[in-house]
Structure 1
Amino acid sequence: MYKPVKVERKNIYFKPDKKRVLARFFFLGDERTIKIIKRTLELSESERKEVFGQVLRSYTKRHRSIVNIFERNFERVSHLLEKVPFPKDKLSQLDKLLIGSYFTMEYSIESAALFNPSIVEHPDQTELFQGEKRVILSFRATGEGHVSSIVFRAGTLDLDNNIHIDYIGNLLDKPIQVKNHRYHKESFLKKMNELHAEPTEVKTKLEQKLTPTFTYEELKRYIDEVRQDSEENLENITFLQQALWLASSHYEMTFSLDTSISERVIFPIADTEKRGIEDARFVQFKDEKGESIYYATYTAYDGFSILPKLLTTKDFYHFKVKPIYGEIANKGAALFPRKINGRYAMLCRIDGENNYIAYSHNINVWQETAIRIQQPEYAYEFVQIGNCGSPIETAYGWLILTHAVGPMREYVLGAALLDLNNPHVEIGRLHSPLMTPNDEEREGYVPNVIYSCGALVHNGQLILPYAMSDYASTYATINLEELLLAILNPERYQ
């Protein structure tokens, strides 16, 4: 007798909240910025005080430190003051803050959607009762203009796998410190060759100028020198823009220690991701010493091109970001939670239709040919099959959750097992979907879609957060043993 795998949908929802706003830099170009500064400074001193007082009354309670934000945004336009006829020695602190306020705007980070979640164990597991686990959920938050960022929620799973979400703060904050790192000439040129393989004069000139290691500011100087010494044509301009585009994708960021995790927003910083940070798949990775580090693979989108990136953190306060190089440079990469046979392993999507796996000794460089491990076989996945986050290690093999697309472009969830020592070998797969959108879940921004970016196991249950039609999120629990047996004996579970 056939029976489906039991899925318990939990009655908790993570919905977008338009009140959660972030203060971000607002810029209209040098010419208009100069006009705005000039108009501001033409006000009388009393008028400037009155205007700034109104701004403070309206926005102080909406942000952690709106004055610090104004200071930072003033600094970003201060170089244009030399073109404004106003004595610099008479520029007061209030004047600077008022100018900064004109180049600040609020952005509702999740006004459109809060979806594609992943879940990992919180680094702090102290002061819990038996059977509890503290967790961190990540979400893709989408606001005006469909720009995506990463946001978090923290909570505790109890003995019955009900999740109790911590207080959600409203004083959202971007990193207080962002810095670019030093680039290595060899790896930088290797990635540039992937983007622009044809040899050109400007490419040779830049290669000759680069030192073995260099900073972003040094690269900008080298590019300016090459530009002045080269013909100004579309090919040369494109190459030099790509070099800056690539370099801007490496950076580090640190959040203030007085922020709760729900208030930390990883908003697009680099040019490579100015249109969005998409579908972060977080995983708690264990190194050879058994120590934990958290990685997240995500897709950076600039409006035209995508670039896979790797986010690294140990505490969710300090993050490092680097591009991922190599054949797997596509959407939907998901890292295994430990090395396999001495190498990193990554699920990836090369062709948009099948599931692949890749191996590498370098977590950022994937030069070995990826191996196809899954292709559409069953009716619910005839259009495409992909991963739903990092694999989960079990006694039976690596459990992978999949998203599959079938008739009517319906996205459903499936599951499969890969061999523990040779995960390029599939040892079982469900013949029918694990979950399909129900009547409530199928309605949304993109109808008939459920999707996840990662799950974990707690108290013998699979804790599976998932998105509902690209609008909101929820989670379900599934008995792990039952699911594994269903994968190994699919003819009994339909």
Structure 2
Amino acid sequence: MRLTVERKPAKVLPDTKRVIARFFFNGEERAVELIKKILKLDKDEVFGLVSPMLQDFSKRHRNITRKLFRHCERVKQDIATAGGDYNKLDDFTKLLIGAYFTHEYSIESAAFFNPSIVPDPDQTNLEEGQLRVIISFRAVGEGHVSSVVFRRALIDRHNNITVIPAGNYIDEAENIHNVIYQKRLFLRKAEEADINPEFLKSVTDRLEDRFDYDQLKGLVLEAKKDATDQAMIKQFNLMLALSDSYRRITFSKDTDISDRVIFPISDFESKGIEDARFVKFTDDNGKTIYYATYTAYDGIHIMPKLLKTTDFYEFKTSPLHGAGAKNKNLALFPRKINGKYAMLSRIDGWNNYLMYSDNINEWENPIKIQCPEYPWEFVQIGNCGSPIETEYGWLVITHAVGYMRKYSIGASLLDLDNPEKEIGRLRDPLIVPNPDEREGYVPNVVYSCGSVIHNGELILPYGLSDHSSGFATVNLKTLLDRLRHGG
């Protein structure tokens, strides 16, 4: 039977109107001089500036005053240096100061691509054959900074896809640094991040085996006060950045999922949060947890990280450790295999590896399971999201790179009990960029970070040349038959 891929008409395009209000700071000296000018204004002048500003920007942001007050508080020390007293300032002055330390950032002005898809935790009020899903995307804005954003979609009984329009606002999460660290794992990741071992020991020797963010930050800032050597100051900053890699982030319950953006915060992800691969994971007692592996990037270091949520309102993030947690392209299996977590990776950049672990954050002993075999994948092969369990094996959607750096999407089938064994692989790609898909920020690329099975078909969202996203479906039985009987 012919293997046919149907491209769906639904498309998701970047929208320049999707903006967040971010803190903006251009150096202490300029900040102090700016604040001095603001403090010289009389009350009528302040009100005359604040009133139209609020009328203008309140239409673009939910509770803009809360953000402005927060940004004013972040320059409290600079206000003191400028001769002011933060606690004695009236609200309008605080709002004006906050506004001068705020800028709008269009999170998806450059691209909206590399989607991942999972069933929505809420499947109520649906008709027979429908499935409600959550789709994550990699949004890219000014400076090529990537963040994770979401849309909700509905798949009907004919597998037609309707992406629910985004809301009017978008907002960053509130960040809560109340994570408890394990010293052993923290030290290991610090060494991988090129933090000087002697310096590291001088700080962490004063910590217990388990410690919290405030304890660590207090020790680092205390030691940093007396530092004059720039190389040593860099080490302090690296440690603070690493501590920010462990965090819990929460969104207000009155936000729609399209309102929520997970934006880079720590220095270790300052250049972006890339290609989140979400998976609906079922643990040993039947509980559902949504995990996502993603890449944090600071322009030099690549840090694989794990995102965890049960409701898409609260997320916990932490780095992944070990010899197998290198490079990009990690994807978690949706359940344990033979009592262990299982993960795909591409530690060398061009082959697929498999790892097992008793600890979801630690990954050692990667086993090479796939190498480039066909011309369209000669350069590299990797996964396009977490494996999907079928009656005949683990269905792995792959990406591959051939001549002219042309990306294609393929498929493989791995043994259910022993995923090291490849049952079959398509000889030809499922999807290659067609003439309407090959132009974008990076030409000739189709790429996905996750798929689902519904109504007997594989539903595959995919990025179009690092610009926008589309959807395709393929008959599951035909695909599995092809994989089982010769590709």
Q: Provide TM-score, normalisation by structure 1.
A: 0.95
For residues 26 and 227 of structure 2, the distance between their equivalents in structure 1, rounded to whole angstroms, comes to 30
Measure, in 1, the Cα distance between the counterparts of 2:123 and 2:485. 36
Alignment of 1:60-459 (within 5 A): 60-86=58-84, 90-196=88-194, 199-200=197-198, 202-227=199-224, 232=229, 234=231, 236-327=232-323, 328-366=325-363, 368-459=364-455
C-alpha deviation, 1:86, in angstroms: 3.8
Is the contact made by 1:308 and 1:329 (CA closer than 8 Å) also made in structure 2?
Answer: yes
Letter in 2 for 1:205: S
Percent identity of paired positions between Structure 1 and Structure 2: 54
Paired AA for residue 79 in structure 2 = L
Q: Distance in 2 between matches of 1:51 and 1:279?
A: 41
Q: Distance in 2 between matches of 1:199 and 1:104?
A: 38
Cα separation, 1, equivalents of 2:420 and 2:471: 29
Q: Post-superposition shift, 1:78?
A: 1.5
The one-letter amino acid of 1:403's match is H
* Change in 2 beyond 3 A, CA 1:25/1:196: closer
Q: 2:54 aligns with which of 53, 56, 78?
A: 56
Please state whether the residue corresponding to 2:482 is helix, strand or coil. helix
* Structure 1 position 218, deviation (Å): 2.0
- Partners of 1:89 and 1:489 in 2: how far apart? 74
Return the offset for 1:211. 2.2
Mark the CA change 1:233 to 1:318 in structure 2 (over 3 Å): closer, same or farther: closer
1:88 Cα deviation after fit: 5.4
Contact 2:10–2:163 (Cα < 8 Å) also in 1:
no
CA shift, 1:245, in A, is 2.3
Question: 1:308 is matched by which residue type in structure 2?
Answer: P
- Please give the alpha-carbon distance, in whole angstroms, between the structure 1 residues aligned to 2:422 and 2:338: 17
Q: 1:224, CA displacement in angstroms?
A: 4.1
Higher mean C-alpha deviation, range 71-80 or range 466-475: 71-80
- Aligned length, in residue pairs: 486
Alpha-carbon distance between aligned partners in 2 of 1:227 and 1:280, rounded to the nearest angstrom: 34
Q: Residues 262 and 89 from structure 1, CA distance in 2 versus in 1: closer, same or farther, beyond 3 angstroms?
A: closer
The question of whether the paired residues in 2 share the 8 Å contact of 1:180 and 1:250 is answered with no
Q: Which position in structure 1 is the counterpart of 2:15?
A: 17
* Distance in 1 of aligned mates of 2:177 and 2:210: 16
Shift in Å at residue 228 of structure 1?
A: 6.5
Could you tell me which runs of 5 or more consecutive residues in structure 2 were left unpaired when the two chains were aligned. none
- TM-score, with structure 2 as normaliser: 0.96
Cα distance in structure 2, aligned partners of 1:197 and 1:31: 29
Provide the alpha-carbon RMSD of the alignment: 1.7
1:445–1:470: 8 Å Cα contact kept in structure 2? yes
Structure 2 CA distance for aligned equivalents of residues 38 and 237 of structure 1: 29
Gaps of 5+ in 1: none
Secondary structure, counterpart of 1:427 in structure 2: strand
- For residues 278-331 of structure 1, the C-alpha deviation after alignment (integer angstroms, 9 at most, x for no partner) is 000000000112121100000001122110110000000000000001112220
- Of 481-490 and 76-85, deviating more is 76-85
Contact 1:205 1:226 in 2 (8 A): no
C-alpha separation between the residues in 2 aligned to 1:4 and 1:113? 34
Mapped partners of 1:270, 1:390: distance in 2: 26
CA distance in 1, matches of 2:197, 2:106: 44
Q: Tell me, what secondary structure is at the counterpart of 2:47? A: helix
Offset at residue 89 of structure 1 (A): 6.3
Amino acid across the alignment from 1:318: E
- Alpha-carbon distance in 2 for matches of 1:271, 1:412: 33
Moved over 6 A (4+): 228-231
